[in-house]
Structure 1
């Protein structure tokens, strides 16, 4: 081939590449679903300006940020993209949940440690109302089943405590977004557990059934106490010391029997 023809062929090849690949999209498959399996709720531990800076310019990110006053919803990452909010995490056997979740950060300082002990910071009514509206929209669009909404402390109980004991999980249950232990069933089960508490393996198995990552050590070890504390903070926030008792056992049994 002459140098001219070779040059012409290369030019035509490059021109074809420059024109872009043509893709036929006339045969879409019906066999697919959303990449989103869970929605993870966090608090930011700081104010809105610092939160926006960290979540847009730092090494972490979330899909949404909700301010408290006024209750403004910011979308920071497209839902089709992965945000860096979950870290080392696990829920119901799924690991590293950044790939399969939407992250929502609530502007909230978390807690302050002082002379009177740890003081958790409350959420505003408008902020929670905005969150519930956003969650309902996400659940509808991604066809998520109940219990797809979880906290950072659920998926990383050995290292995280957000969204904390003042986060109103019961409000989400009342909105039909998560399951909740049946109060009558808990009251009926508690006397039996008060007579005799199950062993450590039972608690570990029940916590795993709910969705937590926990080793079946058969001992009330540190990892078990951390998971118990995360569970209690969510379903019995008045006391979350990580110690077993009849009420915690009844709450677990009520959830796993639903």
Structure 2
């Protein structure tokens, strides 16, 4: 009888533990989650913005095949349901999507491992007479993107300088989302980085915006901000890095030429957000 009473008491004790706050019952074991480690950090640190360079149906098919993926796809004109724009989630945020490819940002590689990717349905660029012309983004698409991006940034406490273009993290391969993406307007809503105009003017220091500057000095600034700059880069590769920066922060001129305005913007960004 005493043995039976002991078994009952043990069962009641275990039952009490299972119902205790911070104790989770699993099949064959229990988890105690009452003590969380302080040295724990979210996997997601970067938000990468892309364009699909195709229509919605083709983009959806591409992003759901076996070769490439992204967490979200935002249509050019999202359909409204109960007054809200609909966005397609293709990969759960806790899972890795293959959207960044070979990439580098602020000393980190393998950005797929630490980022969330948002694809925007957009035709990308077409070349006419040797000149690239980029397709604009619709107001409805950007309006749908804003709350999604804000939610992601808040969930993972993503720093402004880690909201980036695909071109920022892979400038030798990518142009997206291009110079028509409204980075400045989004930064005003808390999405991404943008330099303070008065500090840009301070660093411009009376120079003409298109005054040539030393390319190596500019590239040093861009490397300190986060771009992949290496000593063995060719002149064409250097130009691609400068062009990616300009498409993001100086969209009025993105020819890849090192000039005073680009340099002043880079200095103002480093002052505001620090270096990697």
Normalised TM-score (structure 2): 0.80
Q: Look up the SS of the partner of 2:132 in the other structure.
A: strand
Is the CA contact 2:214–2:258 (under 8 Å) kept in the aligned structure 1? no
**Pairwise CA distance, 1:171:** 1.4
Structure-2 separation of matches of 1:116 and 1:145: 37
Q: Look up the SS of the partner of 1:102 in the other structure.
A: strand
**Pairwise CA distance, 1:73:** 0.7
**Pairwise CA distance, 1:229:** 0.4
Residue 42 of structure 1 is matched in structure 2 by: 50
Normalised TM-score (structure 1): 0.85
In structure 2, the CA distance between the partners of 1:197 and 1:97, relative to structure 1 (3 Å rule), is same
**Pairwise CA distance, 1:226:** 0.8
Is the CA contact 1:38–1:102 (under 8 Å) kept in the aligned structure 2? yes
In structure 2, the CA distance between the partners of 1:257 and 1:82, relative to structure 1 (3 Å rule), is same
Is the CA contact 2:51–2:120 (under 8 Å) kept in the aligned structure 1? yes
Residue 267 of structure 2 is matched in structure 1 by: 253
Is the CA contact 2:76–2:138 (under 8 Å) kept in the aligned structure 1? yes
Residue 209 of structure 1 is matched in structure 2 by: 224
**Pairwise CA distance, 1:204:** 1.8
Structure-1 separation of matches of 2:146 and 2:181: 12
Give me the CA root mean square deviation: 2.2
Residue 29 of structure 1 is matched in structure 2 by: 36
**Pairwise CA distance, 1:93:** 0.6
Structure-2 separation of matches of 1:148 and 1:233: 16
**Pairwise CA distance, 1:230:** 0.5
Residue 7 of structure 1 is matched in structure 2 by: none
Residue 82 of structure 2 is matched in structure 1 by: none
Any gaps of 5 or more consecutive residues in structure 2?
1-25, 79-84
Q: Look up the SS of the partner of 2:204 in the other structure.
A: helix
Structure-2 separation of matches of 1:117 and 1:243: 16
Residue 6 of structure 2 is matched in structure 1 by: none
**Pairwise CA distance, 1:210:** 1.4
Greater mean deviation of Cα atoms: 47-56 or 195-204: 195-204
Structure-2 separation of matches of 1:215 and 1:154: 15
